[in-house]
Amino acid sequence: MKLTSKGRYAVMALVDLARFNNINPVSLRDISLRQGISLDYLEQIFSKLRKKEIVQSVRGTQGGYILNKKTNEIKLTNIFEAVDEKVKTVQCKKESKKSCNGKTVKCLTHNLWDELENHINNFFDEKSLEDLVKDNSERRI
C-alpha cells in the first residue's frame, strides 16, 4: 500500500500555493520550480483541482491559480478525491465476484478492509490545508 506521487504532489502544490496565495495568483511554473515537480504533470493535477472547485484559474500573463476556498475548508479528503487518489482497500466489492459482493456474501476479511478504509479516511477528513500550512509557518522557503 502506498500513496502515489499524484496525491503527494497535489498536496505539496496546494500547500505551496496556500503559502504564496496572499496577493497574486501563483503560477504553476513557480510551484514547479519550488517543489521540483514537472510542469506538465502539475497542469494535469491542477486541471482536476479546478474541476472540483478547489482552485480557480486566472489566465493570461501574470495569471496562475488561487485557492477557491479557505484553507480550513479544504480537507485532504477533498484533494485526494479530486485527483482520483482513492483509498480503496477492498477489491472484493466488485460485482462479478461470487465470493464477496459486500452484502449477501462477504469474504473472510471484508469487514477488516472496511474498517481500515474508515480509519484512513477519518485521518484525511480531519486534516485540512490550514493544518499543513501552520506546520510550515516558521519556514522561510
Partner DNA sequence: AGATACTTGACTATTTTAGTCGGGTTTATA
Partner DNA sequence: TATAAACCCGACTAAAATAGTCAAGTATCT
Dmax over Cα atoms in the chain, in whole Å?
58
Contacts of a second copy in 22-51 (CB under 8 A): 35-36
- Selected from 43, 58, 119, 125, the binder of a second copy by CB under 8 A is 119
22-30, 55-63, 64-72, 81-89 -> range binding a second copy (CB under 8 A) = 81-89
Nearest CB to DNA, comparing residues 25 and 110: 25
Count residues near a second copy (CB under 8 A): 36
Nearest CB to a second copy, comparing residues 4 and 72: 4
Give me Rg for the CA atoms of the chain.
18
CB of 59 to a second copy, least distance (A): 26
Is the distance from CB of 26 to CB of 16 less than 8 angstroms?
yes
Angle CA 124–95–121, to nearest 5: 5
Rounded distance between C-alpha atoms, residue 110 and residue 119, angstroms: 14
